[in-house]
Amino acid sequence: MLVLSRQRDETIMIGDDVEITIVDIRGDKVRLGINAPRHIQVHRKEVYDAIKRENQQAANLTPQDVSEVIGSDAGPSAAPIPAPGPVKENPENHQTKIRRSRG
């Protein structure tokens, strides 16, 4: 693990496209500003872990499991669910700020 020391308003670069800026420091909490391309997902670790867990559970569903979730209303006459289309990437950068609630 690389450990860096930074002060407020200083930035760390990850590759050519990801900037992490120290926005604020209050006591033992640091606020980060993250500037990354839209195709790079940025999540807090606990959110990332929850998404990964949900995706793994969904990958293990059987057709019977799906039928149980949809219910008996979705028989042969029910309209099929369309497959998702391709994801269009936007080359513009976006900013994501990680905020923690106080409490």
Residue indicated by tokens 């867990």: 53
- State how far the alpha carbon of 24 is from the alpha carbons of 6, 27, 36, 100, 103, in Å: 11, 10, 19, 12, 18
Whether 57 maps to a domain, the answer reads yes
Residue 103, pLDDT score: 45
Residue 88, pLDDT score: 56
Q: Tell me the two tokens of residue 9.
A: 């308003």
Average pLDDT for runs of 10 along the chain of length 103: 95 97 96 96 95 90 80 59 59 52 48
* Total of domains in the chain: 1
Whether 15 maps to a domain, the answer reads yes
Residue 59, pLDDT score: 87
Whether 46 maps to a domain, the answer reads yes
Range of the domain at 54: 1-61+92-103
Residue indicated by tokens 């640091």: 30
Residue 64, pLDDT score: 83
3-state secondary structure of 31: strand
Report whether 16 contacts 92 (CB < 8 A). Answer: no
